[in-house]
Amino acid sequence: MSVKRIEAVNDFVIKFANVNGSGSASANELFARAFLRMGIPVSPRNIFPSNIQGLPTWYEVRVSENGWLGRRGGCDLMVAMNPQTWAQDLKEIDPGGYLFYDNTKPLPKSRFREDIHVVGMPLTEISNSAYTLPRERQLFKNIIGLGALAALIGLEPEVIAELIGEQYKGKEKLLKPNLNALQLGLNYAREHLKDAIGLKAKRAYAVGEQIFMEGNAATALGCVYGGATVCAWYPITPSSSVAEAFTNYCSKLRVDKDTGKNKFAIIQAEDELASIGIVTGAGWNGARAFTATSGPGISLMSEFIGLAYFAEIPATIIDVQRGGPSTGMPTRTQQSDLLACAYASHGDTKHVLLFPEDPHECFTMAADCLDLAERLQTPVFLMTDLDIGMNHRLCKPLKWDDARRYDRGKVMTAEMLDAGREFARYKDLDGDGIPFRTYPGTHESKGAYFTRGTSKNPSAIYSEAGPDYQYNMQRLLKKHDFAKTLVPKPLLTPSREPARFGAIYYGSTSPSMNEALESLAQQGIFVNALRVRAFPFADEIQDFVHSHSKVFVIEQNRDAQMKTLLVNEAHINPASLVSILHYDGAPITARFITKEISEIAAALNVRPIKRDKAA
Amino acid sequence: MTYLAKPRLHHPTLKKNAVGYTRRDYEGKVSTLCAGCGHDSISAALIEAFWQLDIQPHRVAKLSGIGCSSKTPDYFLGNSHGFNTVHGRMPSVLTGANLANRDLTYIGVSGDGDSASIGLGQFAHVMRRGVNMAYILENNGVYGLTKGQFSATADKGSKAKKGSVNSDSPVDTVSLALLMGATFVARSFSGDKQQLVPLVKAAIAHPGAAFIDVISPCVAFNNHEGSTKSYDYVRAHNEAVNRLDFWPSREAITAEYREGEVIEVAAGAEGGILKLRKLAADYDPSDKISAITHIARAAQKGEVLTGLLYAAPDAEDLHAHLNTYGAAFNTLGAKELCPGSGVLERINASLR
Ligand SMILES: Cc1ncc(C[n+]2csc(CCOP(=O)(O)OP(=O)(O)O)c2C)c(N)n1
Ligand code: SF4
Ligand SMILES: [Mg+2]
């Protein structure tokens, strides 16, 4: 029986199974970048444990000339370098796919599968005979493997050599042995493994102007462009690299040329209680401030978030979501903090959330958050996740309009006070629920007020009177409602043909959803898709649901948190929503969405037998 | 209790300070604390200190946590912005506020529950960072606002009003502040205005983290026999190491001390002068190590050591550590902060 062979050009999934800390990361990244240089879109994902050395890690590379950048599901080629996960890795390969492994020590036939193609290469042997130091042997084994894969798949060796050259610019001593190792791999594969793999890379022109960037770095840059001067944080995966990138960018872009002084202050606080406190203090005093954290940090910050909501203090909170509850799956992705953030803190609270889909939106929305927080005088959350934050993603180039000025919101100045403008800190003067504030130190006799988390009257005087409290709470509600006119609008992707079904999705689900919509259309299942980009919900979302008989809500959490918010806050009948939930910690795949929707659609399309009219 | 504002009728003869304000201009709302509460005396000392220092009230920001003590910023400097934050976490809010605008004077008011119980972490870290502020801890050994439970500064063996005895060791806030890196550390007593006002003035002028632990009896819950934070107890056990005078500038110094009794210590921000009259012959407030030992010995003897315990001659603050820009961050806009589209194009190019 001949085994089927997956043949594909510029459209496949390759997965590397590695051991954490073995130096595989840099070779993996070179591999992914080589596709980009050949004009082929690629989307790599690190799947890693909460550990520094010794545990399994994976690097999954989606290659797609069509530009599908989400996880597809399945695996066409497994590069199995970790004996510990061998059995699990072997299982993941699609029938007709390939297994590439180090056959220095031969394995019995029973350790393989009949329905896949096994490509062995004595990587350790080649590396050991070429190098003597144990560290070199380990590191160059990765590069030898990279050379072999390049030959097998058709990645242009010059492109990889160029990338290695860029990596070791100024460190010529390291450059040569790397290029040698690459050549060793190329030579071996050309000689011994001719046409062993049916997956091919072919130069294309599908990358264009796009950039390749991590979401957390884009978020940090958005905070630089958006004018944040104070950053307070406490290390937590997967958010730490936001603060680290902010530090990095600021040291290049925010040091005053004349004085050498910093136009930023970054505090690695003692905990998240302090980071949000610092942000609150800075926001109260008129500086743009943000913190970056993940679920456990949000839990700790809750009391302060309530204070900032009730006392009306701007704060930008970046939540790079990971698997919860508790420590949960600290290095896996999820969209499971929606409710925790939307209603963070005790008492009646509601917060503004933004949902970026990729680094491009992380950049623009981070800057938007800083504007919104000051315009609305309230905490605003940027809800990213590990999948967007910690992986390089191909996306539109970042854009900034030089005419853009920061929206500092309603701030009453000394001039306005001198001109006799009415100032009452918590009074709605304009009908949008947003009062004026003053910065401390503004005026010698007017505009000072006392900020507190306790109830107060419109002039900020302590008051436990029922009507004062209710006026304030109603105004906050009005302000929240007004926020829906300011936040990013949902985006509609209409189907090619009239559709009964709708789908609502958000954040990092976006690229897999795009691919799933196309797969579904090819099966004749047409779905209008609406990407929700913010809470509070724009009215369009309600209209969208009402114009479809069923709307799928695709999420990466167990409890259908977006659905809950839609039902609660957009007054949508839960019967019109069908949840599709993915929450195993790995990013959602296009195949998963396609399968779920097609199965449910099939079931819904079955006409029920005519019921008794009396029923 | 009354929420009425005080009448603001200015008497034409009320004395004005150098910036044209009378003492009344430094007052706040009518206090709602119990009559005789130590905290009110501290508010009075703050009013006096700010008036004497010729600081315009609106250039001060007052921050506090939660508790009877933390309510007091409403009762002084009514023309300043104030912020009653959350329990135990005033230090972080003050840190952020200070980063946003380095040009104001920051005063933090807290209680012993606020700073030594729930807020011990933030208390320690704000001292480590050297935030430029005057941090006043109004220490009564109990949670006043929640009706008299022991706080973490209650001495071992001290008796609660209802009779229970505290068996936990106390947190000594001055020692802790010293160990954490505060550059100005003092202890005083709400009942000793003569000592407290100059200390507060010096703390405000100090260009770094200044901390004063003020024993401030709670008449409602901790002023009985068996308490170590009652008026009687503190009066009987007060051991002042020195008496301080503070002048904002050199010219004002009057030589009223006898030679040999007086030492000069760390200058304040604008070159102010601290003069200390030594009461304990062997006490040197510029020597941190010996200060720590001295405090520990006094505690062992059951003394309440007061006075200026430590002032670093070379204090620096967080802004110096972070090398921050001279202008207040809250005055900077897109022009000063945004790198612009040209730079972004270059960043884009580096990401291809
Ligand atoms: C998170 C939180 N827990 C508990 C409280 C209740 N609470 C209010 S004041 C206070 C104690 C205040 O004690 P202290 O700081 O010594 O101030 P005092 O009233 O003695 O001046 C407590 C426990 C609170 N406000 N917030
Ligand atoms: S309860 Fe104690 S601390 Fe509170 S106001 Fe009364 S005397 Fe002061
Ligand atoms: Mg107390």
pLDDT tens, position by position, A50-103: 887 778 999 999 999 999 999 999 999 999 999 999 999 999 999 999 999 999
Residue of A nearest to B73 (CA): A450
By Cβ distance, the residue of A254, A260, A282 closest to B96 is: A282
B333/A441 Cβ within 8 A: no
Residue B270 has pLDDT above 90, yes or no: no
pLDDT, tens only, A282-338: 999 999 999 999 999 999 999 999 999 999 999 999 999 999 999 999 999 999 999
B82/A229 Cβ within 8 A: no
Shortest Cα–Cα distance, A212 to chain B (Å): 5
Residue B272 has pLDDT above 70, yes or no: no
What is the pLDDT, as a whole number, of residue A389? 98
For residue A75, give the amino acid letter: C
Task: Identify the band that residue B8 occupies on the pLDDT scale cut at 50, 70 and 90.
Answer: low
Angle between helices A295-311 and A272-284 (to 10 degrees): 30
Looking at A200, A223, A257, which one is the last position of a domain? A200
CA distance A529 to A542: 13
Please indicate, yes or no, whether residues A161 and A39 belong to a single structural domain of this protein. Answer: yes
What is the pLDDT, as a whole number, of residue A604? 87
Contact B46, B107 (CB under 8 A): yes
Q: Which ligand is nearest to the CA of B141?
A: 3
Averaged pLDDT, A118-147: 95
- For chain B, state the CA radius of gyration: 21
Please report the DSSP string for B22-89 in residue order: BGGGGB-SPP-SPTT-HHHHHHHHHHHHHHHTT--GGGEEEEE-SSHHHHGGGGB-TTSEEEE--TT-
| Ligand 2, atom 2: closest residue by C-alpha | B218
Task: Identify the band that residue B260 occupies on the pLDDT scale cut at 50, 70 and 90.
Answer: very low
Averaged pLDDT, A7-30: 92
Q: Which residue has the tokens 């695996």?
A: A75
Contact A264, A254 (CB under 8 A): yes
Task: Identify the band that residue B254 occupies on the pLDDT scale cut at 50, 70 and 90.
Answer: very low
Task: Give Cα separations from A391 to A5, A42, A47, A320 (angstroms).
Answer: 30, 12, 10, 12
B86/A448 Cβ within 8 A: no
Residue B267 has pLDDT above 90, yes or no: no
Contact B211, B278 (CB under 8 A): no
Number of cross-chain residue pairs from A and B with Cβ atoms under 8 Å apart: 223
Contact A385, A333 (CB under 8 A): yes
Please indicate, yes or no, whether residues A391 and A532 belong to a single structural domain of this protein. Answer: no
Contact A502, A527 (CB under 8 A): yes
B329/A229 Cβ within 8 A: yes
User: Under DSSP, is residue A336 helix (H, G, I), strand (E, B) or coil?
Assistant: coil
Residue B12 has pLDDT above 70, yes or no: no
Averaged pLDDT, A580-603: 96
Nearest to A308 by CA among A272, A283, A334: A283
Task: Establish if A615 belongs to a structural domain.
Answer: no
- Ligand 1 in contact with B114 (CB < 6 A)? yes
Q: Which ligand is nearest to the CA of B118?
A: 1
Residue B248 has pLDDT above 70, yes or no: no
A508: domain CATH number is 3.40.50.920
What is the pLDDT, as a whole number, of residue A363? 98
Q: Which residue has the tokens 């506090």?
A: B64
Please indicate, yes or no, whether residues A186 and A300 belong to a single structural domain of this protein. Answer: no
- Ligand 1 in contact with B238 (CB < 6 A)? no
- Least confident residue range of B11-25, B33-47, B105-119, B160-174: B11-25
Task: Establish if A613 belongs to a structural domain.
Answer: no
What is the pLDDT, as a whole number, of residue A23? 81
Nearest to A532 by CA among A479, A581, A488, A570: A488
Task: Establish if A614 belongs to a structural domain.
Answer: no
pLDDT, tens only, A448-477: 999 999 999 999 999 999 999 999 999 999
Q: Which domain holds residue A504?
A: 491-605
B330/A286 Cβ within 8 A: yes
Task: Identify the band that residue B261 occupies on the pLDDT scale cut at 50, 70 and 90.
Answer: low
Task: Identify the band that residue B3 occupies on the pLDDT scale cut at 50, 70 and 90.
Answer: very low
Please indicate, yes or no, whether residues A172 and A35 belong to a single structural domain of this protein. Answer: yes
Residue B257 has pLDDT above 70, yes or no: no
CA distance A167 to A160: 10
Contact A283, B329 (CB under 8 A): no
Please indicate, yes or no, whether residues A385 and A414 belong to a single structural domain of this protein. Answer: no
A155: domain CATH number is 3.40.920.10
Residue B263 has pLDDT above 70, yes or no: no
Task: Identify the band that residue B68 occupies on the pLDDT scale cut at 50, 70 and 90.
Answer: very high
Residues of B in contact with A406 (CB under 8 A): 333-334, 337
A283/B96 Cβ within 8 A: yes
Averaged pLDDT, B272-296: 83
Residue of B nearest to A209 (CA): B352
A380-390 residues labelled b (16+ CB within 10 A) or e (exposed): bbbbbbbbbbb
For residue A551, give the amino acid letter: V
- Ligand 1 in contact with B112 (CB < 6 A)? yes
CA distance A539 to A552: 18
Average model confidence (pLDDT) for chain A? 96
pLDDT, tens only, B153-190: 999 999 999 999 999 999 999 999 999 999 999 999 99
Residue B328 has pLDDT above 60, yes or no: yes
Averaged pLDDT, A423-437: 97
DSSP label of A317: E
Residues with Cβ < 8 Å from A144, sequence gap 6 or more?
Answer: A123, A126, A127, A181, A182, A184, A185, A188
Task: Give Cα separations from A312 to A216, A438, A464 (angstroms).
Answer: 27, 12, 18
State whether residue B63 sits within 8 Å of chain A by CB.
yes
Averaged pLDDT, A440-445: 97
Q: What is the dihedral of CA B151, B157, B163, B164, to 10 degrees?
A: 60
> What are the boundaries of each domain within chain B?
26-322
Looking at A369, A395, A421, which one is the last position of a domain? A395
What is the pLDDT, as a whole number, of residue B256? 43
* Largest separation between any pair of C-alpha atoms in chain A: 92
Averaged pLDDT, B324-349: 98
CA distance B213 to B208: 16
* Cis peptide, bond prior to residue A325, ω within 30 of zero: yes
Q: Is the whole model's pTM more than 0.90, yes or no?
A: yes
Distance B64 CA to ligand 1 centre (A): 12
Residues of A in contact with B84 (CB under 8 A): 450-454
β B262-265/B273-278 pair status: antiparallel
Please indicate, yes or no, whether residues A327 and A221 belong to a single structural domain of this protein. Answer: yes
Structure tokens at A333: 């992705």
CA distance B19 to A568: 57
Please indicate, yes or no, whether residues A14 and A66 belong to a single structural domain of this protein. Answer: yes
Residue of A nearest to B102 (CA): A285
A218: domain CATH number is 3.40.50.970
B100/A281 Cβ within 8 A: yes
Task: Find the residues whose C-beta lies inside 6 A of ligand 2.
Answer: B 33-34, 37, 39, 68, 140, 144-145, 218-221
State whether residue A444 sits within 8 Å of chain B by CB.
yes
Sort residue A447 into left (φ over 0), alpha (ψ -120 to 50) or beta.
left
The H-or-E segment that residue A393 falls in is strand A392-395
Average model confidence (pLDDT) for chain B? 90
Task: Establish if A364 belongs to a structural domain.
Answer: yes
Compute the C-alpha angle A331/A335/A336, nearest 5°.
Answer: 90
Distance B220 CA to ligand 2 centre (A): 6
Please indicate, yes or no, whether residues A377 and A517 belong to a single structural domain of this protein. Answer: no
- Ligand 1 in contact with B37 (CB < 6 A)? no
Task: Identify the band that residue B280 occupies on the pLDDT scale cut at 50, 70 and 90.
Answer: confident
What is the pLDDT, as a whole number, of residue B313? 85
Task: Establish if A475 belongs to a structural domain.
Answer: yes
**Cross-strand bridge partners of residue A83:** none
A263/B329 Cβ within 8 A: yes
pLDDT, tens only, A539-571: 999 999 999 999 999 999 999 999 999 999 999
Contact B206, B244 (CB under 8 A): no
Structure tokens at A32: 């992914």
Averaged pLDDT, A97-126: 95
Distance A59 CA to ligand 1 centre (A): 50
CA distance B76 to B30: 9
Q: What is the CATH number of domain B26-322?
A: 3.40.50.970
What is the pLDDT, as a whole number, of residue B264? 63
Residue B319 has pLDDT above 50, yes or no: yes
For residue A465, give the amino acid letter: A
Structure tokens at B337: 């902060």
Distance B136 CA to ligand 3 centre (A): 12
Nearest to B309 by CA among B199, B230, B204, B208: B199
Please indicate, yes or no, whether residues A277 and A386 belong to a single structural domain of this protein. Answer: yes
- Ligand 1 in contact with B145 (CB < 6 A)? yes
Please indicate, yes or no, whether residues A244 and A98 belong to a single structural domain of this protein. Answer: no
State whether residue B122 sits within 8 Å of chain A by CB.
yes
Please indicate, yes or no, whether residues A13 and A124 belong to a single structural domain of this protein. Answer: yes
Nearest to A501 by CA among A480, A517, A484: A517
State whether residue B61 sits within 8 Å of chain A by CB.
yes
- The residue among B19, B110, B329, B348 with the most chain A CBs within 10 A of its CB, best to mutate, is B329
State whether residue A120 sits within 8 Å of chain B by CB.
no
User: Under DSSP, is residue A417 helix (H, G, I), strand (E, B) or coil?
Assistant: helix
Higher pLDDT, A63 or B258: A63
Residues of B in contact with A444 (CB under 8 A): 56-58, 79
Looking at A395, A422, A438, which one is the last position of a domain? A395
Residues of A in contact with B58 (CB under 8 A): 441-445, 448
B86/A307 Cβ within 8 A: yes
Angle between helices A24-37 and A157-167 (to 10 degrees): 120
Residue A139 has pLDDT above 80, yes or no: yes
Averaged pLDDT, A135-163: 96
- Helix spans in A4-113 (H): 24-37, 86-92
- Ligand 1 in contact with B137 (CB < 6 A)? no
Task: Establish if A558 belongs to a structural domain.
Answer: yes
- Ligand 1 in contact with B119 (CB < 6 A)? no
CA distance A17 to A14: 10
- Helix spans in A76-231 (H): 86-92, 123-130, 134-153, 157-167, 172-192, 215-225
B330/A285 Cβ within 8 A: yes
State whether residue A346 sits within 8 Å of chain B by CB.
no
Residue A390 has pLDDT above 70, yes or no: yes
State whether residue A461 sits within 8 Å of chain B by CB.
yes
Please indicate, yes or no, whether residues A542 and A513 belong to a single structural domain of this protein. Answer: yes
- Ligand 3 ion: residues within 5 Å (CB): B 111-113, 140
